[in-house]
Amino acid sequence: MASGTYLTRRWRPAAPLAALTGWQLGLGGLMLAPLAWALDPALPALGAAQWLGYGYLCLFGALLAYLLWFRGLSRLSPVAVSSLGLLSPLTAVLLGWLLLGQALGLLQLAGLATVLASVLAVQRSMAAPPPESNSVMAGAARAGS
């Protein structure tokens, strides 16, 4: 994931977003398939509910999520994108608490607050204007040239 994100920002491919996403998911799956065949036990027979769940994960958990991710990569700064990656485990913990009734202790709540505060701090620092001293120095440098 990190390599794909880095290379996407670095190379800035001219391929359409859907094609880029398809290639990323396809190649990632091909690279993981030998390990899965070698290390994972065989799957039991799947019923209709399992196939529907698999389809849901393919469409929403992979295709839509990656389309949105790569769209964001093309429009956001690398610093903003890296901080947003922290929201995935935060979302998983909150969904586990809301939907599955999983317990959250003080340590987990402190971790959630720390992650959320760091993401908000990064986003605010990206939106903040440069400090006054830098803009004054830049203006002086332009005036001197």
- Average pLDDT over the chain reads 81
Predicted confidence (pLDDT) per residue in 35-60, tens digit: 999 999 988 999 999 999 999 998 99
Q: Are 92 and 121 in contact (CB under 8 A)?
A: no
Helices (H), the chain: 2-11, 17-39, 48-56, 65-75, 78-84, 87-100, 106-127, 132-144
Cβ(110)–Cβ(91) below 8 Å: no
DSSP state of 73: H
Q: What is the pLDDT of residues 72-90, one digit of tens each?
A: 877 877 777 777 778 888 8
Q: What is the pLDDT of residues 80-129, one digit of tens each?
A: 777 777 888 888 888 999 999 999 899 989 998 998 898 888 878 877 67
What letter would DSSP give residue 130? P
